[in-house]
């Protein structure tokens, strides 16, 4: 399902003509647009759930919790706060500008491009769209070709809700994405893998286009000796179960004192048994891998680890079609294995034993900065050390994944896991230009003291000012 690439420049021109209209809208008008989007989503809920089931085999409850609920919450958050965020922000007087007044004005950037991934194909297309529309921009949305049912739904729903002059949905593969990157957008937000993220960054840099990259990486879990193992295992197991492990901030591997690994493995077996019992009572609730090639990659990672001496403690079973792998916990994992050097992006959790906290901190610091870091501990000193001695896009203590749903916390990476952020106010500011505005009176013109010619008196005055400001 490819959009006609020859039409893309004309569509972009249409959106350019709409830019001044949207940029001039007040908060009430922008909120009305978001409310129309909300109503359209409400009317299409069942179709959205069906599209997500077609693409990823998502259970209805998981679609509600991970795709629809975050979108509704984001719209509600913008409705409550957009008036305040859009106001000019005054700045205080500073010498030598005591007679001046200054403020920051948030302006729409213009026409922005959103490139969405396949793992949460509805949420990760619509969440940044909400922020971009609220900031007064026109938008091109490029969904993933690997989620064709959701892409088809978005292509119909978004222009119908917001207007064809406000948002265009462009479907297609990487060739279409390449054509889009040739256009001079005013901002690009890309969500996906590091390889394509580098291509987006290079294309944007060539045209001096600001960009936001939401990538991924290997998000570690550290389990301290003070942590309650059964509760920890239940939370981490859920984080690997969610969306079939295909979550950018999913726990990627677990670090803990090697003496505790057998106890942790047993705690995971308990967590798995509880889920399996619920599955028998309530029906299947595990997402499938997006397509056969991705499933084959996950299978190869697992086989490579087992061949290298890792042991399957929990899980390891595929369904008949080979697209669903139950969450699988491995012990005996070594740093040289493939699954410790690639983002897993599937329901496999390696446990890596360490001798002490310092070794765990060094293990994480010596690798690319992750999108998320998870620490389970009751000892506040341990949590403080991770907070002060590590770097990650986000950190969550004694839980996993849930930090992404807090409306006042940004979603964003650092280093190899991305740049920039959005969600709530952070999204509004990402898609806005914070323009500095300074107003000076006509009289008295204090700065005229420093106009040429530079007389001895003026030099003396400048010297006094330098000594006072130092």
pLDDT tens string 240-262: 999 999 999 999 999 999 999 99
343 an active-site residue? no
Q: Report the pLDDT value the prediction gives residue 449, as an integer from 0 to 100.
A: 79
Residues 6+ apart with CB under 8 A from 331: 261, 262, 265, 310, 311, 313, 351, 353
Cα separation, 194 vs 215, whole angstroms: 6
Q: Do 185 and 271 share a domain, yes or no?
A: no
Does residue 66 form part of some domain? yes
- pTM for this entry: 0.94
pLDDT number for residue 1: 46
HSE-CB of 76 using CA atoms within 13 angstroms: 9
Give the Cα separation of 149 and 44 in Å (integer): 13
Residues 98 and 67 placed together within one structural domain of the fold: yes
Residue 387 shares a structural domain with residue 429: no
Do 10 and 138 lie in one domain? The reply is: yes
**CATH number for the domain that contains residue 65:** 3.40.605.10
Backbone angles phi, psi at 323, to 5 degrees: -110, -5
389 is catalytic: no
Q: Are residues 179 and 272 in the same domain?
A: no
- Mark whether 224 and 192 lie in a shared domain: no
Counting the structural domains of the chain, the total is 2
Same domain (yes/no): 224, 210: no
Whether residue 200 sits in one domain with residue 68? yes
CATH of the domain at 381: 3.40.309.10
Q: What is the mean pLDDT of each run of 10 residues along the chain (470 residues)?
A: 75 92 96 98 98 96 96 98 97 81 96 97 98 98 97 97 96 92 96 95 96 96 97 97 95 97 97 82 79 94 96 90 90 96 96 97 97 97 97 98 95 96 97 95 80 90 86
Catalytic residue chosen out of the listed positions 111, 248, 287, 396: 248
Together in a domain, 111 and 206:
yes
Q: Is residue 467, in this structure, part of any structural domain at all?
A: no
3-class SS at 435? strand
Q: Tell me, yes or no, whether 357 and 425 share the same domain.
A: no
- Domain with 407, as residue range(s), is 220-412
**Tokens (6 digits) for 40:** 């359209």
Q: Are residues 201 and 321 in the same domain?
A: no
What pLDDT, on the 0 to 100 scale, is given for residue 320?
64
Catalytic residue of the set 67, 214, 313, 429: 214
Would you say 123 and 248 are in contact if contact means Cβ atoms under 8 Å apart? no
If asked whether residues 42 and 123 sit together in one domain, one would say: yes
pLDDT for res 377: 98
């Amino acid at each position: 399902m490819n959009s006609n690439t020859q039409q893309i420049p004309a569509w972009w021109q249409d959106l350019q003509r709409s830019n001044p209209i949207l940029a001039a809208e007040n908060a009430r008008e922008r909120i009305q647009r978001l409310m129309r989007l909300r109503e359209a989503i409400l009317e299409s809920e069942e179709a959205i759930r069906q599209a997500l089931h077609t693409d990823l085999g998502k259970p209805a409850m998981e679609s509600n919790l991970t795709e629809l609920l975050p979108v509704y919450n984001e719209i509600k958050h913008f409705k409550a706060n957009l008036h305040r965020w859009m106001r000019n922000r005054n700045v205080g007087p500073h010498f030598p500008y005591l007679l001046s007044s200054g403020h920051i004005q948030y302006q729409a950037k213009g026409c922005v491009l959103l490139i969405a991934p396949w793992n949460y194909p509805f949420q990760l297309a619509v969440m940044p769209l909400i922020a971009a529309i609220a900031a007064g921009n026109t938008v091109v949305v490029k969904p993933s070709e690997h989620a064709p049912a959701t892409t088809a739904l978005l292509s119909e729903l978004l222009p119908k809700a917001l207007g064809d002059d406000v948002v265009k949905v462009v479907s297609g593969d990487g060739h279409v994405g390449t054509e889009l990157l040739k256009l001079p957008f005013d901002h690009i937000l890309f969500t996906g893998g590091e390889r394509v993220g580098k291509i987006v960054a290079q294309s944007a840099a060539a045209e001096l286009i600001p960009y936001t990259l939401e990538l991924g990486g290997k998000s570690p879990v550290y389990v301290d000796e003070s942590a309650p193992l059964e509760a920890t295992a239940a939370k981490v197991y859920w984080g690997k179960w969610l969306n079939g492990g295909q979550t950018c901030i999913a726990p990627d591997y677990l670090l803990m004192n090697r003496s505790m690994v057998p106890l942790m493995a047993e705690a995971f077996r308990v967590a798995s048994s509880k889920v399996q019992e619920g599955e028998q009572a309530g029906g299947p609730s595990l997402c499938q891998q997006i397509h056969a090639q991705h499933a084959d990659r996950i299978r190869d990672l697992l086989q490579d680890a087992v061949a290298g001496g890792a042991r399957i403690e929990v899980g390891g079973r595929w369904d008949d079609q080979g697209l669903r792998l139950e969450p699988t916990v491995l012990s005996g994992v070594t740093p040289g294995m493939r699954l410790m050097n690639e983002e897993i992006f599937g329901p496999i959790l390696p446990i890596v034993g360490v001798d002490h906290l310092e070794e765990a901190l060094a293990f994480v610091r010596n690798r690319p900065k992750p999108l998320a870091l998870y620490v389970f501990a009751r000892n506040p000193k341990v949590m403080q050390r991770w907070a002060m001695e590590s770097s990650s896009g986000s950190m969550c203590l004694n839980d996993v994944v849930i930090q992404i749903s807090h409306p006042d916390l940004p979603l964003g990476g650092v280093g190899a896991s991305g740049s920039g952020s959005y969600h709530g106010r952070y999204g509004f500011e990402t898609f806005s230009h914070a323009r500095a505005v300074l107003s000076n009176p006509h009289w008295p013109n204090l700065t005229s003291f420093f106009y040429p010619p530079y007389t001895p008196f003026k030099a003396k005055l400048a010297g006094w000012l330098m000594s006072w400001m130092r």
